[in-house]
Amino acid sequence: VSCCMNRNDNLKRAVLTWLNLKADEIIIVDWSSSIPVSETLSDINDNRVKIIRVEGEDKWILTKAFNVGLRFARYSKIYKFDADIEVKPNFIEINPFTENQYVRGNWAFAVENGSEHQKFVNGSFAAPKNTLKNIGYYNEYIQTYGWDDSDIYQRLSLIGGLNAKFIDP
């Protein structure tokens, strides 16, 4: 699941890497981009890619945009990426999780492990869909940058009862 508002070029580069994943669907929420994401991705012909266009939004609200995508996701395991996160084809295989876990990005862990270029992975995560649903997905009262990731991670642990592990750098 990802979402985008006017970061179409970054999204396209990222999507080209997501297509190599062993994923059943790729949901992209287009949060009222000036140029529709469907136009930017028109040359990608892959039935797994589902674009959900939200019209009439003049302000980027990450929590609301991602919640649209998370609610539409049909499968039991969800991987969430920002629109500029590129991954290697084996990302899912090296970052598995069980029903009692979630996997999350951690910029400090990545930097400490010599992966300076991965310092922006903090918002990437993977978790069971049922737990995300049970905790109410993202907190939509958070409408600015920051704290959205910390909040959802805290709720996945405290309310959802999941153990966190970091994305393998």
Biggest alpha carbon–alpha carbon distance for the chain: 43
% of the chain with per-residue pLDDT over 90: 82
How does pLDDT run across 85-117, given as a tens digit for each residue? Answer: 999 999 999 999 999 999 998 766 655 666 655
Mean pLDDT of 125-139: 97
Do residues 165 and 101 touch, judged by C-beta distance below 8 A?
Answer: yes
Do residues 46 and 85 touch, judged by C-beta distance below 8 A?
Answer: no
C-alpha–C-alpha distance, residues 85 and 106, integer Å: 14
Tokens 């642990």 -> residue: 157
